[in-house]
Structure 1
Amino acid sequence: MMKRMALASLLSAGVASLIPVSAMAHEGDVSERLAQIASLFDARSIVAGPEVVDCTLSGGTETQCFSITLKNSLESSEMGPWCPGKLSDGADEGGIWVRDGKQYDVDGAFIENLATFYDDPEWQLFDEATGKVHVTDTRTACDQAARPDVAEAYHNYCVECRTEYMDEVVETTYVLPLVPVARQEAASGRTPPIPRGIAFNGVRFDAAAPQDAILAAHTLAPFDDCGGHVNLHVGYHYHGANGCSPAKENVAADAPMIGFAMDGYPILARLTGDEAEKAELDACSGHVGAGIGYHYHGNSAEKNEILGCFHGEIGCALDSPDAVCTADDMGHRGPPPGEEDRPPSGKE
């Protein structure tokens, strides 16, 4: 019978005692493993699962994955704010914007100073007479301003979408390897525009927001202080680990665990100061730790991407719990480039 282990150890690639689920001697071993995974997530976020399914990972490895269907468990009051309403509003009335690895408060003064900030006189997100900021405050405005080809009427807008603009709550089925499989080729900083992982409150850790497309129309699409915002395609999602998502302590790890990456490796809270310097994180924001094996440390929102790349072969994010994960087929790995976070009907 498989030795009982902590979840972090179970999910650490390269651990000698780690064996495929198919090799477990008793059905109870699988059940306990799934129960451990389920216990990490906010129960309100779990729609179905986790359960064991067959899957094909991005590198062609045929293995067993855990499938879990999740929804965002946050209340509306736990998201935002994003856009200030007037130039006199302070930092607590707006979110944050990132540029060149730095984070800025989107308050009224920031909106007023955008022409100087970007050295471009075309920026004018407010009414000079009233000081009111142009904000997409309806579903139609959100839809029109968030398209890759922003409608002319919504140039120079602060783009803000809300979950109440959505027709229904988005439910996504994530299929991730129970035992992570390291990539055969060296990981690089170039990663397909797919989700990076999932937080324990059901919120997606998404790919980088396409700032070039946003700025081209002189629009701004701020994150809230948690590094998240809403689009009409996937709902509320994070672009960084700003310390807002639930964290699970583990004595064997160098930081609390905050989620899973799409390759099944744990994502831990970001490291700062001397800890970050000593960690010697790789290009994917990960390293190997005693007792937990390979794991990531999520970047904060100022990096605009929680992970630099994937260390392992990735699974799938599916619209249907009945779909089969064949991640080696690009068609199942996520939306086409350019649509992952700025679909025709969504916010950036």
Structure 2
Amino acid sequence: MSLTRKRLLTGLVAFSALVTLVGCNSETEVKSTTETTTPTTKANHVTQGISLSMFKEGAFVEEPTIVDCTTAEGTETTCYKFVTSGAPAGREPGPFCPRTTSDGPEDGGKWFSKEGSGELVDITGEFILKLDEYYEDDKWAVYDAKTNKVRYTATKAACLGAARPDVEEQYKQNCIECQLAYLDDDFSVTYLIPTTPIPATKTTGRVHTVGIALDGAELSGPAPIDAILGSYTIAAFDDCGGHINVHQGYHYHSTNGCTDKSEASDDGHAPLIGYAMDGYPIYAMKNAQGEEEMLDECRGTTDAIRGYHYHAASPSENMFIGCMHGETVQAAGGPPDGGPQDGKRPPRPEE
């Protein structure tokens, strides 16, 4: 039995503790993941809830349920409770780091462009070889000059020592990759998202966990680029824009098309990639014509079909959205973004 399949069957316990909510006191099973919420119109404003049918098969390790919950702003409402395995449904992550300085694009993953916008760059052997030129810093040396082998985190111990803000000294000058095999056998992540979005009186700018992708993987907040590059490491993504750590499992820092809902909309709108922690949908950056929309500070806009919704930033911007337009659920001891923090997890890793 594959590791991923095993987690899909057994990953029913939260990685530290299940999210505990103020005001969470009842639970209702959603009988079918093909069930959808119905858009409602209030004062000419469309409010679109989460459509469970949009998620990929295998995105959750148990049927989504509806529970009572209270937002960080004190609003009593109901939330979807989603439990995931920490792996993207339908595919195996990777590759991440190339093994030699002669490896091509197919042997490695992706990384942020130093321009801070646009597409991700390929982590090829040549990219590793020329990191000193790319970042204009001759201290870079993520390979052995005698063997031309790339230094990468090949064990769980190396993953734990490198995938953190304060990289252990022996793991500096490494390409960082972690594997799903490093997760606990009972690893799971629980998310609570309002069933109907509630516009906030004040947007939330501090976003640790942005939302959940249609394949069940986390859409994560910005990676700590300064800490990563300051330790002369590359926290490699796969071609889909995500990577793994032992606290979040596989998670995205960038959208590269892998989470897009393939069915085209009648009006040529950008494809759906997931839902934010406030319940509003997140769509890709550009529509079918390759055009971008005019967006607010949170990277959101409103139309008559979808109501308020977000559009993700470009792959190398190290963000999905700029802030939360709606209210989110506060996990006990966690940040006010509805993410799976429970107040007991260690400092956020170098993601």
Specify if TM > 0.5: yes
Residues 117 and 341 of structure 1: CA distance in aligned 2, closer, same or farther (over 3 Å): farther
8 Å contact from structure 1 (residues 231, 341) kept in 2: no
**1:10 to 2:39 alignment:** yes
Tell me which residue corresponds to 1:148: 165
Counterpart pick for 1:191 among 178, 200, 206: 206
Q: 1:264 aligns with which of 279, 298, 315?
A: 279
State the 1:226 CA deviation: 0.6
Q: What is the aligned partner in structure 2 of residue 122 from structure 1?
A: 139
Kindly report which structure 2 residues correspond to 1:64-213, keeping only aligned pairs within 5 A, or say none. 64-72=78-86, 74=88, 78-98=92-112, 99=114, 100-102=116-118, 103-168=120-185, 170-185=187-202, 187=203, 190-192=205-207, 194-213=208-227
Runs (5+) with no aligned partner, structure 1: 1-5, 20-32, 317-324
Summarize deviations over 1:221-279 as a string: whole Å, max 9, x none. 121111100111111111122110151645478223221110000112221696544x1
For 1:331 and 1:91, how far apart are their aligned partners in 2?
Answer: 36
1:14–1:154 Cα change, 3 Å? farther
Q: For residues 331 and 265 of structure 1, what CA distance do their matches in structure 2 show? A: 13
| Deviation, structure 1 residue 297 | 1.6
Output the CA distance in 2 between the equivalents of 1:16 and 1:54. 25
Question: Would you say how many aligned residue pairs link Structure 1 and Structure 2?
Answer: 312
**Contact 1:263-1:310 within 8 A present in 2 as well:** yes
Q: Is the CA contact 2:47–2:307 (under 8 Å) kept in the aligned structure 1?
A: no
Query: Partner of 1:53 in structure 2?
Result: 67
Residue 213 of structure 1 aligns to a residue whose secondary structure is: helix
Distance 1:268 1:212 in 2: 28
Identical residues among aligned pairs (%)? 38
Counterpart-to-counterpart distance in 2, 1:178 and 1:55: 10
CA distance in 2, matches of 1:13, 1:59: 22
TM-score (norm 2): 0.78
The residue that corresponds to 2:7 in the other structure is: none
Q: Are the equivalent residues in 2 in contact too, given 1:52–1:66 (CA < 8 A)?
A: yes
Tell me how far apart the structure 2 counterparts of residues 123 and 265 of structure 1 sit (CA, whole Å): 41
| Deviation (angstroms), 1:118 | 1.4
1:267–1:248 Cα change, 3 Å: farther
CA gap 1:16/1:271 in 2 versus in 1, 3 angstroms: closer
Deviation at 1:161, TM superposition (A): 0.6
Cα separation, 1, equivalents of 2:298 and 2:73 = 17
User: Does the alignment pair 1:233 with 2:256?
Assistant: no
Distance 1:334 1:183, change over 3 A: same
Q: Give 1 or 2: higher helix fraction.
A: 1
Task: Give the C-alpha shift of residue 45 in structure 1.
Answer: 2.3
Structure-1 separation of matches of 2:298 and 2:248: 24
TM-score of the pair, normalised by structure 1: 0.79
CA distance in 2, matches of 1:195, 1:12: 28
Secondary structure (helix, strand or coil) at the match of 2:142 reads coil
Whole-Å separation in 1 of the counterparts to 2:101 and 2:213: 34
Amino acid at match of 2:117: G
Partner secondary structure for residue 278 of structure 2: coil
> Equivalent residue of 1:49, what SS?
coil
How far apart are the structure 1 equivalents of 2:237 and 2:160? 17
| Structure 2 residue ranges without an equivalent (≥5) | 1-34
- For residue 214 of structure 1, give the secondary structure of its aligned residue in structure 2: helix
Relative distance call for 1:313 and 1:332 in structure 2 (3 A) is closer
Does the CA contact (< 8 Å) of 2:178 and 2:245 recur in 1?
A: yes
Closer/same/farther in 2, CA of residues 94 and 16 from structure 1, 3 Å limit: closer
- For 2:272 and 2:333, locate their aligned partners in 1 and report how far apart those are by CA, in whole Å: 25
Candidates 301, 304, 312, aligned match of 2:315:
301
- Name which of structure 1's ranges 54-63 and 260-269 shifts more when overlaid on structure 2: 54-63
